[in-house]
Amino acid sequence: MAVRNASETAVVKHPLVVFVVVSILMSWAFWSPILGSHVGLLPQEIEITSVGGFILYLIAMTSMWIAALPLVAAFQGIEGVKSAYRNLLNGRNGALWYAVAILIPLAVEIVPPALYASLSGDPTFSAFSWPYVLFVLVLGIHMALVLALGGTGYALQLFAEGRSRFAATLVTSAYTLVWIAPMYLEVISRHPGYPGVWYVLGFVPTALMVTWLYHTAEVG
Tell me the domain boundaries of the chain: 6-216
Which residues make Cβ contacts (< 8 Å) with residue 19, sequence separation at least 6? Answer: 67, 68, 71, 154, 155, 158
pLDDT band (50, 70, 90) for residue 10: very low
- For the whole model, what pTM was predicted? 0.83
Per-residue pLDDT tens over the stretch 166-176:
999 999 999 99
Residue 175, burial from CB neighbour count under 10 angstroms (0-12, 13-18, 19+): buried
Q: Mean pLDDT across the chain, nearest whole number?
A: 83
Model pLDDT, residue 209: 93
Closest CA to 139 of 69, 30, 60: 60
Amino acid sitting at position 17: V
C-alpha–C-alpha distance, residues 148 and 2, integer Å: 28
Q: What separation, in Å, do the N-terminal and C-terminal C-alpha atoms of the chain show?
A: 15
Which residues make Cβ contacts (< 8 Å) with residue 140, sequence separation at least 6? Answer: 101, 102, 103, 104, 105, 106
Model pLDDT, residue 12: 46
**How confident is the model over 4-26, as a mean pLDDT?**
71
Per-residue pLDDT tens over the stretch 160-206:
988 888 999 999 999 999 999 998 888 777 776 666 666 777 788 88
